[in-house]
Amino acid sequence: MATDKNKSENLSVEERLKALYELQTTLSEIDRIKTIRGELPLEVKDLEDHIEGLRTRIENYTREVEELRRKLAAENAKIAESKEKIARYKEQIDNVRNNREFDLLNKESEFQALEIQLSERHINEFNRAIDTLSGKIQATKEELSDREHILVEKKSELDEIVSETRQDEERLREQAKNLEPNIDPRTLAAFKCIRKSARNGLGVVYIQRNACGGCFNRIPPQKQLEIKMHKKIIVCEYCGRILIDPELAGVEQPVTDK
């Protein structure tokens, strides 16, 4: 790390600016490769998240159905128990010795009949809820199947693009890594910060028609002269991008009539 720092300190400002512009060009090419991939990586991630959400939804619905089935079984057990009690009460009614026992057994039978009606109502509610959830499970499974099919296609498309561009991207990243030691740490950090905030990822731009190549605000003649001298790092007072002259960037400017 110290060696890299010493290397950059031994280079002239002009050499640093050249390395900086070459780094910018290299990183812009990497950005172009990412643009070729477009929104596919984000689409794949969104699909994966959506699919995970659908699976969780199916699991939740399934758990609700299982709970309803347990409640159904409990209500059916209650009905069976109530029917047994009613049958027993009827047998006992045949052997009652007074009206008081008869009324008591009769009331118990009526109460168990009401319990059966309540359980049957609950059973109907549970069955309707199960039918609704089963429909939701089926619909969600169909959506899940569709999304999984789309995901396979998107992944295949992305893998193909990545495969085509991987070698170029790896070469460019290695090239960018080798250029960084030619730039002093402070300027390099500032450049990376500018790139993050710039919409087009340009941290270094050359003068175009007497204006900043990033924000296109006019640059005063005196500052243009300072930029051409390559004596210090100069930034645009409007957008903060590092400015270089076209000659240093290897760009021929069109001749304009004065």
Digit-coded pLDDT (tens) for 120-175: 999 999 999 999 999 999 999 999 999 999 999 999 988 888 887 888 888 999 99
Of 59-68, 92-101, 154-163, 245-254, where does mean pLDDT reach its minimum? 245-254
Q: Which domains does the chain have, with CATH numbers?
A: 2-35+184-249 (1.10.287.1490), 40-177 (1.10.287.1490)
The answer to whether 19 and 11 have CB atoms below 8 angstroms apart is: yes
Q: What is the per-residue DSSP string for 20-32?
A: HHHHHHHHHHHHH
Which segment of 33-42, 49-58, 139-148, 195-204 scores lowest on mean pLDDT? 33-42
The stretch 200-207 carries a mean pLDDT of 91
Give the pairing type, strands 204-206 and 234-235. Answer: unpaired
pLDDT at 85: 94
Mean pLDDT, range 39-67, rounded to an integer: 95
Name residue 176's amino acid.
Answer: A
Q: In what order do the strands lie in the sheet with 242-244?
A: 204-206, 242-244, 234-235
Q: What pLDDT digit, counting tens, does each position of 223-237 carry?
A: 999 999 998 989 999
**pLDDT (average), residues 41-56:** 95
Provide the pLDDT confidence category of residue 3 given band limits of 50, 70 and 90: low
